[in-house]
Amino acid sequence: MNDPVPSVRPAIAIVAVDPTAPDEAMVAGFAAVRESLRRESEPHDAPATEEATRRRLAAIAQVRELAVELVLARMDDVVVGFGAALAPIAGDNVHLLQIDVAVAPEARRRGVGRALVAWSLDVARRRGRRLIIGFSHDTAPAGGAFARALGASEGLRSRINELDLVRHGEHLFGADGLVARWLADGPVRAPGYAIEWLPHPLPEETLEPFAALQRSMNDAPRGTLDVEDRVYTADALRDLEAASAARGDVAWTLVARRRDDGAYAGFTDLYWNADNPRVAQQGDTAVAPEHRGHALGKWLKALMLERLHRERPDVRVVRTGNADTNAAMLAINEALGFAVAREGIVWQVATDELARRLEGQAPRDA
């Protein structure tokens, strides 16, 4: 009897990608993996096309406060995963590297994730970063086990929440619906404030005060993550505007201002993209500490939903992300009807610990 032939894993090739000039094969590879992940985690969304992927890659290159490196993972000349490493270089959090490692479901447990993490470790060492941060979601639960095996610890639990505008239509938009009530309450509870729309791109004179207002986002819960406050600047806003435009987003921004001096008090923003036309992405919402207690968050959210319902009636879902411990924002979202679509964990691991784990016994790949 012949001895069985030992199985041999195909070689994994990690290939660098320039987001400013990806060739068509690379774009197709990114799109194929994105589509496999979309079917797994967001099956009701529109497919991830090559054109949409090309725009996303172009958008990445617009953000100058981050040094971005991208790679594709190939097995037998088939793209089976990708890695992104984002290194802040603009004054805050220069100790960390944020990574996004994705492996197509059909290629998992074959060493691809490990190869991509090893690549990210090389990036961290080259850039002098002592901490690496990454994510996992419950739609791919093996990702959490993989992170633990690599020595990572939980830094923050979060959730993706979704609001079904059809299911909750009467609750929200009926004659006595929540949106109408919050809109009526707004001027009563906050008589010293006015709400206004900011155009996009943001006018130059709004950049500095709006950047100062965005610093209120630093009050959002961060769990045990070893991260610093983000320094929001006018230059960062310009880059984010350019990235949004490169993706093809339609962006809406509302601000609350104090009437007596025009001070910016709170804001909310929302994004819609024709690549996924039935979904609107709720961006940040924040009220500066000195302006809290007037229900400005409710007023802002209600006015944004009223416009979405009026101008984009085909949108079915509003999607947003929240930390599990962000009680104030969760209370507003839950009152509106947002429900948990999936849950996730932000992981962190010291670069030296990750190196020790990778040099030891290989964890089972996610």
Stronger pLDDT, 225 or 8, i.e. the higher one: 225
pLDDT score for 361: 53
Q: What is the pLDDT of residues 86-118, one digit of tens each?
A: 999 988 999 999 999 999 999 999 999 999 999
Asked whether residue 3 carries a pLDDT value surpassing 70, the answer given is no
Mean pLDDT of all residues belonging to the chain: 93
pLDDT score for 9: 63
Q: What is the pLDDT of residues 301-344, one digit of tens each?
A: 999 999 999 999 999 999 999 877 778 888 999 999 999 999 99
Asked whether residue 167 carries a pLDDT value surpassing 60, the answer given is yes
Residue-level length of the chain: 366
Asked whether residue 6 carries a pLDDT value surpassing 50, the answer given is no
Model confidence at 238, pLDDT cuts 50, 70, 90, reads: very high
Model confidence at 4, pLDDT cuts 50, 70, 90, reads: very low
pLDDT score for 2: 47
Write out the two tokens for 128.
């002098």
Asked whether residue 364 carries a pLDDT value surpassing 60, the answer given is no
Task: Tell the burial category of 361 from Cβ atoms under 10 Å away from its Cβ (0-12, 13-18, 19+).
Answer: exposed
Q: What is the pLDDT of residues 38-71, one digit of tens each?
A: 999 999 999 999 999 999 999 998 999 999 999 9
- What is the average per-residue pLDDT within 75-85? 96
Domains of the chain: 12-159+345-359 (3.40.630.30), 169-336 (3.40.630.30)
Stronger pLDDT, 262 or 61, i.e. the higher one: 262
Asked whether residue 360 carries a pLDDT value surpassing 80, the answer given is no
pLDDT score for 5: 43
With helix as H, strand as E and coil as C, how does the chain read? CCCCCCCCCCCEEEEEECCCCCCHHHHHHHHHHHHHHHHHHCCCCCCCCHHHHHHHHHHHCCCCCEEEEEEEEEECCEEEEEEEEEEECCCCCCCEEEEEEEECHHHCCCCHHHHHHHHHHHHHHHCCCCEEEEEEECCCCHHHHHHHHCCCEEEEEEEEEEEECCCCHHHHHCCCCHHHHHHHHHHHHCCCEEEEEECCCCCHHHHHHHHHHHHHHHHCCCCCCCCCCCCCCHHHHHHHHHHHHHHCEEEEEEEEEECCCCCEEEEEEEEEECCCCCEEEEEEEEECHHHCCCCHHHHHHHHHHHHHHHHCCCCCEEEEEEECCCHHHHHHHHHHCCEEEEEEEEEEEEHHHHHHHHHCCCCCCC
